[in-house]
Amino acid sequence: MDTLLQQLINGLTLGAVYALVALGYTMVYGIIGLINFAHGEVVMIGTMVAFTVIVSLAGSGMPPLLILGIGLLVAVLACMILGWALERVAYRPLRHAPRLTPLITAIGMSIVLQNVAMIIWGRNYITFPPMINKEIFEVGGASFTNVQVAIVCLAALVMLGLTYLVQRTRIGMAMRATAQNPHVALLMGVDINRVIAMAFIIGSALGALAGCMVGSYYEIAHYQMGFMLGLKAFTAAVLGGIGNMAGAMAGGLLLGIIEALGAGYIGDLTGDFLGSHYQDIFAFVVLIIVLMFRPSGLFGERTGDRA
């Protein structure tokens, strides 16, 4: 019983991170139909930038929370610029190319970013300096830290804000209109290029935030970390129905929970033949099952929209 609760808590934390990253995939896909495979690397760069800022401020005598806040802010800004630049330099020139072309470019950009990160931050694991004094809370036999609470609350807040932005503001209306019918959105006076750039910028900001969360949760970073994280978040986006924002949020949480439960019970299930370090396989089992049985995802866009 205590394992179940414990794994649910861990899954929720992980799921919040996946959801934020999945939103970046789904927003871009929803608007231009591109799977931005470099998004995982944007998240990684976010983690690395935050790491650098935090380490260089660590001896300055500033309060740790302030340092953490500055690190987060710089990472978010850096990734917004990176996301904007990616779209501008790599994808915009290919807007009218066959669909495979930008996809391959995305994979290329992902490799480029990984290598740039390797040159700047090296090949080794980097320990993320713990800025928050960890407090541990116990509930019903399960324990969680204040870092986990912060991650889940911050993610929830950001997702609420994003939902408000997309549903209620002018730019959000323009984004939805562009996703549903770009030609007609253009007729209404929507500057499509601006909307597409916004999708990249917002998605990258969310990615940077998620990167900082991962960094402070695992207290470790690596130039290849974006690959697995990106792939899992992509799985979450597909699980929820790629292109659907509510789906990305739900898919992220669900995947986090599936993965944590899987990791918690895989030993029991296989008679300790497989240990919890096999937790990564669950994401891919989920991906394969979804693609086989429900490729449009749980909240998939129904086809057959008239218009």
Residues that bind other proteins (CB under 8 A): 170, 173-174, 176-177, 180-181, 183-192, 305-307
Residue type, 164: Y
Q: Which is nearer to other proteins, 135 or 191 (CB)?
A: 191
* Rounded Cα distance, 280 and 259, in Å: 7
Task: Give the shortest CB-255-to-other proteins separation in angstroms.
Answer: 25
Q: Which is nearer to other proteins, 172 or 252 (CB)?
A: 172
Task: Give the shortest CB-204-to-other proteins separation in angstroms.
Answer: 24
Q: Which is nearer to other proteins, 190 or 229 (CB)?
A: 190
Q: Which is nearer to other proteins, 96 or 277 (CB)?
A: 96
Task: Give the shortest CB-294-to-other proteins separation in angstroms.
Answer: 20
Q: Which is nearer to other proteins, 21 or 190 (CB)?
A: 190
Q: Which is nearer to other proteins, 62 or 184 (CB)?
A: 184
| Three-class HEC string of the chain | CHHHHHHHHHHHHHHHHHHHHHHHHHHHHHHHCCCCCCHHHHHHHHHHHHHHHHHHHCCCCCCHHHHHHHHHHHHHHHHHHHHHHHHHHHHHHHCCCCCHHHHHHHHHHHHHHHHHHHHHHCCCCEECCCCCCCCEEEECCEEEEHHHHHHHHHHHHHHHHHHHHHHHCHHHHHHHHHHHCHHHHHHCCCCHHHHHHHHHHHHHHHHHHHHHHHHHHHCEECCCHHHHHHHHHHHHHHHHCCCCHHHHHHHHHHHHHHHHHHHHHHHHHCCCCCCHHHCHHHHHHHHHHHHHHCCCCCCCCCCCCCC
Q: Which is nearer to other proteins, 22 or 179 (CB)?
A: 179
For residue 32, give both structure tokens.
């231009």
Task: Give the shortest CB-195-to-other proteins separation in angstroms.
Answer: 10
Q: Which is nearer to other proteins, 181 or 224 (CB)?
A: 181
- Asked if residue 48 lies in contact with residue 127, where contact means CB atoms within 8 angstroms, the answer is no
Task: Give the shortest CB-302-to-other proteins separation in angstroms.
Answer: 9
Task: Give the shortest CB-87-to-other proteins separation in angstroms.
Answer: 18
Task: Give the shortest CB-295-to-other proteins separation in angstroms.
Answer: 19
Task: Give the shortest CB-97-to-other proteins separation in angstroms.
Answer: 16
In degrees, rounded to 5, the angle at the alpha carbon of residue 173 between the alpha carbons of residues 176 and 156 is 80
Task: Give the shortest CB-293-to-other proteins separation in angstroms.
Answer: 24
Q: Which is nearer to other proteins, 123 or 194 (CB)?
A: 194
* Rounded Cα distance, 217 and 219, in Å: 6
Q: Counting beta carbons within 10 angstroms of the beta carbon of residue 60, is it exposed (0 to 12), middle (13 to 18) or buried (19 or more)?
A: exposed
